Amino acid sequence: MKRILVGIAVIGLGILGCTKSVEKAQRDVQRTHDQAVRNIERKQEELRNERRDADERIAQRERRLEDTARQETDKIRKEERELDEAVRAENRREEARRDETRRSETVPDTTTAPLPPE
């Protein structure tokens, strides 16, 4: 009878030990699962941050591109205005020369009078 009681106690301890082992394994699985969930959430947050940073860099580059395009357009307009002004000034000078030439052709030269016949 003692043997039977000892046998039952050993089996009970074995079952109890197995139960504890199973519980420990379940806790380990749950802990691993929780850790995996935290890792996934952390990676998703990192991805969102990287995406936001990339979007900010792209927006900044686009702004710089627009600024450069605006500056270059302003340079072109300024050069075109300067060219137009130079052309107008050249035309005014040319017109003034033509006017001077016309005046000199139509106005007799009074500085040298013809000599009277002798």
- For residue range 38-66, what is the model confidence (pLDDT) as tens digits? 999 999 999 999 999 999 999 999 999 99
Mean pLDDT, the chain, rounded, equals 85
What would the two tokens of residue 68 be? Answer: 């450069």
pLDDT confidence tier of residue 14, bands split at 50, 70 and 90: low
Full-model pTM: 0.51
Look at the alpha carbons of 11, 13, 15, 21 in this order and tell me if their dihedral is positive or negative: negative
Look at the alpha carbons of 102, 108, 111, 117 in this order and tell me if their dihedral is positive or negative: positive
pLDDT confidence of residue 81: 97
What would the two tokens of residue 79 be? Answer: 């050069």
